[in-house]
Chain A
């Protein structure tokens, strides 16, 4: 069993905000206990999967390791009890692709998969470039100082995905606030109560109220798109059929919610974290500015560096063995993506930000059947933004101390103050 101080750290939102605390804890675990059980106070025991190879092995075997049998994200016993009380026994407040297994996962994923294939995203390139140019102009208008996270990185991917979904621009601030309240539910600067969360049961009630607000909003969107379909993802969800039947209410609402939250927050975090890293490493900025052929390796390194999704949980469907350890049916496993992406066995100098890193087989998008649906859109958005910004960006440096969100599930920088020169 993992020692309590380490176990507490790897579930602590404040430790993820600190960054170094979780990096040190996972580096220790990779070295001393790469696959071991943890039971922080208030939690059921779970295996902590820290190595890149073991994460791939679990993700590849999606029939042996399910997403939906227990909570797909780390949750306390009390929060799990409250969720099941609310849902009539289910461990999930929502039922999106993340909480599904086959055959539902395959069927629901197929509904929108084509929209996110690289060849089909090409038609969005010109429009996304127009949006990116607008944000680069707005950054220039700040006159040499801005909070890159709040003024650019939060807003650009938000605008892109909301256009793709079909949410009007006027509603974007509401979508951003709801997303931050959902993923930042443990962060007093972002959550709905504005306070430190001490009672995990009350925290579930707050998250549920955010989910209900999303559902109320997207229920109206469904009605609208059923009456008058458009060329957007909302129309695909509203009018889609699985085995000849419309999507269930919970599944449809959850589809909108995952698209409207994970569809921008993770790209925003990566974009903000990338500029933070470039501001701290001017040699790397000079490299990527000076050699456009490094653009894609720079983007992959940014994704590895930030790893905005910190974990997902899996549940073993049968007794098995993983890396020599016996895993029992029903065991819960935490896949630690930041740890896999700092695995010394795979990445040379893993704590170095290297825009030319190749190969770079990070696990930030996951692996196997549940690999991120929007990964090609995310890469394309980032490429276009940097293609527009770099030719105009002469220099950038930090203008204060950046801050990360306090969260143990999906998070990244919430503030990246910078001073910059642009032409």
Chain B
């Protein structure tokens, strides 16, 4: 079981995290959409987990594509 990655505590930031709009990131290979707001609890990513807080060695849960091959998208 993966350790759950959660949103960074507010006090760690100069600007409150909640002031930033949530964004979507999409896998270039399979189209899997990661929503920062919803997270992906099945993958151990709690709601509110920012893209930047996901480890660089994370891979797409649907097809194995590396994190670097995701694009920020408007949905």
List chain A residues, Cβ under 8 A from B42: 358-359
Q: Which residue of A lies closest to B74 (CB)?
A: A119
In the bound complex, do residue A118 and residue B64 qualify as a contact, i.e. CB atoms below 8 Å apart? no
Contact check: which of B33, B63, B75 meets A368 at CB < 8 Å? B63
What's the nearest-Cβ distance from chain A to residue B4, in Å? 14
Main secondary structure of the interface of A (DSSP, over half): helix
In the bound complex, do residue A371 and residue B30 qualify as a contact, i.e. CB atoms below 8 Å apart? yes
Interface size on B, residues (CB 8 A): 13
Main secondary structure of the interface of B (DSSP, over half): loop
Asked if A422 CB lies within 8 Å of chain B CBs, one says no
Q: Contact string, A349-369, partner B, CB cutoff 8 A, digits 1/0?
A: 000000000110100010111
List chain A residues, Cβ under 8 A from B65: 368
In the bound complex, do residue B30 and residue A60 qualify as a contact, i.e. CB atoms below 8 Å apart? no
Question: Please, how many angstroms separate the alpha-carbon atoms of A361 and B62 in the complex?
Answer: 8
Contact check: which of B26, B33, B61, B73 meets A361 at CB < 8 Å? B61
List chain A residues, Cβ under 8 A from B30: 371, 375
Q: Which residue of B lies closest to A113 (CB)?
A: B31
Contact check: which of A59, A118, A358, A361 meets B31 at CB < 8 Å? A118
In the bound complex, do residue A368 and residue B64 qualify as a contact, i.e. CB atoms below 8 Å apart? yes
Contact A117:B64 (CB < 8 A) given known A358-B42, A359-B42, A376-B31:
no
In the bound complex, do residue B73 and residue A59 qualify as a contact, i.e. CB atoms below 8 Å apart? no
List chain A residues, Cβ under 8 A from B64: 56, 59-60, 367-368
List chain B residues, Cβ under 8 A from A376: 31
In the bound complex, do residue B29 and residue A371 qualify as a contact, i.e. CB atoms below 8 Å apart? yes
In the bound complex, do residue A116 and residue B31 qualify as a contact, i.e. CB atoms below 8 Å apart? yes
Question: Please, how many angstroms separate the alpha-carbon atoms of A368 and B61 in the complex?
Answer: 10
List chain B residues, Cβ under 8 A from A371: 29-30, 62-63
A-B contact count (CB 8 A): 32
Residue of B33, B42, B64 with highest tally of chain A CB at under 10 A: B64
In the bound complex, do residue A118 and residue B63 qualify as a contact, i.e. CB atoms below 8 Å apart? no
In the bound complex, do residue A369 and residue B31 qualify as a contact, i.e. CB atoms below 8 Å apart? no
List chain B residues, Cβ under 8 A from A368: 29, 63-65
In the bound complex, do residue A369 and residue B61 qualify as a contact, i.e. CB atoms below 8 Å apart? no
Residue of A361, A365, A371 with highest tally of chain B CB at under 10 A: A371
List chain B residues, Cβ under 8 A from A116: 31
Chain A positions 91-141 with a Cβ under 8 Å from a chain B Cβ: 113, 116-119
What's the nearest-Cβ distance from chain B to residue A202, in Å? 38
Q: Which residue of A lies closest to B59 (CB)?
A: A60
In the bound complex, do residue B62 and residue A118 qualify as a contact, i.e. CB atoms below 8 Å apart? no
Q: Which residue of A lies closest to B64 (CB)?
A: A60
List chain A residues, Cβ under 8 A from B31: 113, 116-118, 375-376
In the bound complex, do residue B75 and residue A369 qualify as a contact, i.e. CB atoms below 8 Å apart? no
Q: Which residue of B lies closest to A120 (CB)?
A: B31
What's the nearest-Cβ distance from chain A to residue B73, in Å? 7
Q: Which residue of A lies closest to B73 (CB)?
A: A119
List chain A residues, Cβ under 8 A from B73: 119
Q: Which residue of A lies closest to B63 (CB)?
A: A371
Closest CB pairs A-B (n = 4): A371-B63, A117-B31, A60-B64, A371-B30
Chain A interfacial positions (CB closer than 8 Å to B): 56, 59-60, 113, 116-119, 358-359, 361, 365, 367-369, 371, 375-376
Chain B interfacial positions (CB closer than 8 Å to A): 26, 29-31, 33, 42, 61-65, 73, 75
Pairs A–B under 8 Å by Cβ, sample size 9: A56-B64, A60-B64, A119-B75, A367-B62, A367-B64, A368-B63, A368-B64, A371-B29, A371-B30
12 additional A-B pairs beyond A361-B61, A365-B62, A369-B63, beta carbons within 8 Å, are: A59-B64, A60-B64, A113-B31, A119-B33, A119-B73, A359-B42, A367-B62, A367-B63, A367-B64, A369-B29, A371-B29, A376-B31
